[in-house]
Amino acid sequence: MEADMTCPQCGCEHVYPDGSLWNCPECGFEWNPEDAGTPTDGAVEVRDANGNVLADGDSVTVIKDLKIKGASSVIKGGTKVRGIRLIDAMDGHNIACKISGVGAINLKSEFVKKA
């Protein structure tokens, strides 16, 4: 069973299995990937500004103007974003998406709501 397993806590790729658990050498987190039905400490659940749980492929609406780091453009509040992908980035961004006119970008779920 070769999987692209990464640490759900820190995103480290050098994780290793230990029996039914996986271990992360970076942060010491251990978890059971089979245990998807039961939320564990450190499990990532992505919720929008209203507390709705988001899933891959959802469409969301940006709720406020967002400055793009390193760019002059701004994502306007009210912009619709289709087909989001949930990610677990270290910098707090947890949604990957593409916005027309802007391109591929990462957003924070607290600045969107489910469309």
Signed CA dihedral, 50, 89, 32, 28: sign only: negative
Signed CA dihedral, 105, 111, 78, 70: sign only: negative
As a whole number of angstroms, the distance between CA 91 and CA 58 comes to: 22
Q: Which of 1, 6, 17, 26 binds Zn ion (CB under 5 A)?
A: 26
Q: Residue 29 Cβ, how far from Zn ion at the closest point, in Å? A: 5
Which residue is it, tokens 């998406």?
Answer: 97
Q: Which stretch binds Zn ion (CB under 5 A): 17-25, 66-74, 75-83, 101-109?
A: 17-25
Under the binding rule (CB under 5 A), the answer on residue 10 touching Zn ion is yes
Under the binding rule (CB under 5 A), the answer on residue 7 touching Zn ion is yes
Give me the residues that bind Zn ion (CB under 5 A), please. Answer: 7, 9-10, 12, 24, 26-27, 29
